[in-house]
Amino acid sequence: MIRRTFSIAPTIGKKKEMRIWESGIRNWEDFLEAEEVCSVPEYRRGDCNKAISDAIELLDERDSIGLNKMLPKSEEWRLFGEFGDSAAYLDIETDGLYRDSLVTAVTVHTKNDTVTLVHGRGLTSDRLTDVLKDASMLVTFNGSCFDIPVLKNSFPDLDFNLPHLDLRFASRKVGFRGGLKQLETDLKIRRTDNIEGVDGFEAVRLWKRWDRYGDQDALEKLVEYNRADTINLEEITQIIYPKLVKEYAGFIW
């Protein structure tokens, strides 16, 4: 979708972008080759051409961060089509529901691996940095409001300067409501019976059973729950992203 995005150019918003698509100009190359572009006055054309040429160069360099700086905050999702193969799906568990809560578990899921780090068992800033080093973007559910702020509080040295597709807000753009478990239900994504009824509150209790009493079963259940939270984000994204393209952005060609 990013190659079809014209809102990176000055003065082009969603309505102008739609009119440009409808005129037959569907990607950056079409824009640069067109003699005229509807809704773009001639005196603005040079600035728009430069922005698009810069974006082509950044894409050729696989610079997701540079491209992200050109996009409105609400449109970061458009990078997923080009950078989804190197996305890191991330979810955390904590011992409470506040930003200064202890991070008890973090799972990072990529196309190559799924890594779960547990407090006291390898969860460090250096290890997280290593796990995320090849990621071009992040995918979370409510991560912009919870996971990322909590991680920044616990691990100030971590760099989260990546494009971020937050499925909580992305799913709302295409008509879904509720939390992650509700979204999974709506999309008919199932969990194993062992963790079917586990939620964030139960995850806190599971950690306390492990931390206070050394309950190995509780720790294993917490890890399984955290991994399911994270791995399922990939399946959700594969459903939500095409809907964003067609239903939210309106690109139907």
Is there a single domain that holds both residue 108 and residue 53? no
Give per-residue pLDDT as tens, 207-231: 999 999 999 999 999 999 999 999 9
Q: Return the percentage of the chain with pLDDT > 90, whole number.
A: 95
Domain for residue 73, yes or no?
no
Beta-bridge partners for 139: 89, 165
Say whether both 25 and 101 belong to one domain.
no
User: For the chain, how many structural domains are there in total?
Assistant: 2
pTM: 0.95
- Do 92 and 30 lie in a common domain? no
Co-location of 47 and 111 in the same domain: no
- Give the count of alpha carbons within 13 A of 199, CB side only: 8
Give the CATH number of the domain where residue 47 resides: 1.10.150
CATH code at 160? 3.30.420.10
What is the Cα–Cα distance from 210 to 205, expressed in whole angstroms?
Answer: 9
In the listed set 26, 61, 96, which residue is the last one of a domain according to the structure? 61
Expressed in angstroms, the distance from the first to the final Cα of the chain is: 12
User: pLDDT tens digits for 54-77?
Assistant: 999 999 999 999 999 999 999 999
Which of 12, 28, 61 delimits the end of a domain?
61
Q: Same domain, yes or no, for 230 and 128?
A: yes
Same domain for 158 and 210? yes
62-115 per-position pLDDT tens digit: 999 999 999 999 999 999 999 999 999 999 999 998 889 999 999 999 999 999
SS3 of residue 136 by DSSP? coil
For residues 48 and 87, membership in a common domain is answered with: no
More confident residue, 23 or 253: 23
The answer to whether residue 69 sits within a structural domain is no
**Whether residues 111 and 46 fall in one domain:** no
Containing structural domain, residue 12: 2-61
**One domain, residues 10 and 129:** no
Q: Specify if 48 maps to a domain.
A: yes
pLDDT at 99: 85
d(C-alpha 48, C-alpha 34), whole Å: 12
Q: Tell me if 67 is assigned to some domain.
A: no
Q: Is residue 187 part of a domain?
A: yes
Q: For residues 111 and 14, state if they share a domain.
A: no
* Residue 182 belongs to a domain: yes
- In this prediction, residue 97 carries a pLDDT of 83
CA distances (Å), 236 to each of 33, 159, 212, 243, in order?
37, 25, 35, 11
Residue 162 covered by a domain: yes
pLDDT of residue 14: 92
Could you tell me if 59 and 67 are in contact, meaning their C-beta atoms sit under 8 angstroms apart? yes
Residue 74 lies in a domain: no
| Statement to judge: residues 53 and 148 lie in one domain | no
Please state, for a pLDDT cut of 70, what percent of the chain lies above it.
Answer: 100
User: What are the C-alpha distances in Å from 53 to residues 23, 50, 108, 154?
Assistant: 20, 5, 34, 40
Class of residue 61 by CB neighbours under 10 A (exposed 0-12, middle 13-18, buried 19+): exposed
Residues 98 and 166 in one domain: yes
| 224 burial type by CB count under 10 A (0-12 exposed, 13-18 middle, 19+ buried) | middle
